[in-house]
Amino acid sequence: MIPHDARQDARHRPLPGSSRQSAAATFRTSCDIAPRGLSRLPLRPVVALALLLTLGACSFFEAKSQVRGNLVDQDVLKELVPGTSTRADATALLGSPTSKATFDDNTWIYIGEVTQKQIARTQEVLNQQVIVLTFNDAGVLQRVRHLNQDDSLPVDVASGATPSPGSEASIMQQLFGSVGRFNPLGSKLNDTQNSNTR
């Protein structure tokens, strides 16, 4: 049988050559000893590598671009010839228009854009395309126009709000507005009163 003192682990023995060590220095715990090889790694390159891996992973989570509306392929658009193509040809090649002019059914508008989600779920427009086809009364294509950002008009947003009746109650009206309307018995009392008056 091995005596209890001989069973001590090597990490609990005093270091050779030091006769005057305190009791706390004599007994090292496993927390004080770093794993072999890890203590020799410089800290800055390890932190830099971890940061680069973290930032590099962001590209995997980049939002995909989304096509909205009707993007017209330029090669397909070249097949429409003013003076010979008809509304049926335009519908067969491009599909239904995104919109028609408000007071003119002979003006077809194809609107398309490519967007991508950005910070706070806002949409950034990567590419925008507006194609306007103008037909005559017989349904024959007269003109093809490409509109871009330079053709856009600034729109001022009206400040204020649309008033709605009954929404401007004062604090007192809100507090005491339901006084007298409360009925603890609910509709049973009203049904009883209505049957007694008949």
Q: Is residue 94 one of the residues assigned to a domain? A: yes
Least confident of 2-11, 96-105, 137-146, 189-198: 2-11
Residue 4 placed within a domain: no
- Does residue 89 sit within a domain? yes
Res. 87: pLDDT tops 70: yes
Q: At 185, is the pLDDT very low, low, confident or very high (cuts 50, 70, 90)?
A: low
Three-state secondary structure readout of 7-65: HCCHHHCCCCCCCCCCHHHHCCCCCCCCCCCCCCCCHHHHHHHHHHHHHHHHHHHCCCC
Tokens read off for 13: 């023995």
107 in a structural domain: yes
Who contacts 66 (Cβ-Cβ below 8 Å, separation ≥6)?
A: 114, 115, 116
| Domain contains 185 | no
* Residue 181, in any domain of the structure: no
- The residue segments making up the domain with residue 117 are 66-151
Q: Does any domain span residue 45?
A: no
Average per-residue pLDDT in the chain?
74
Question: Do residues 113 and 68 lie in contact, with contact meaning Cβ atoms separated by under 8 Å?
Answer: yes
* Residue 135 near residue 122 (C-beta atoms within 8 A): no
Which pLDDT belongs to residue 3? 52
Kindly state whether residue 5 falls inside one of the protein's structural domains: no
* Domain total of the chain: 1
**pTM of the entire predicted model:** 0.49
In this structure, the number of other CB atoms found within 10 A of the CB of residue 110 comes to: 21
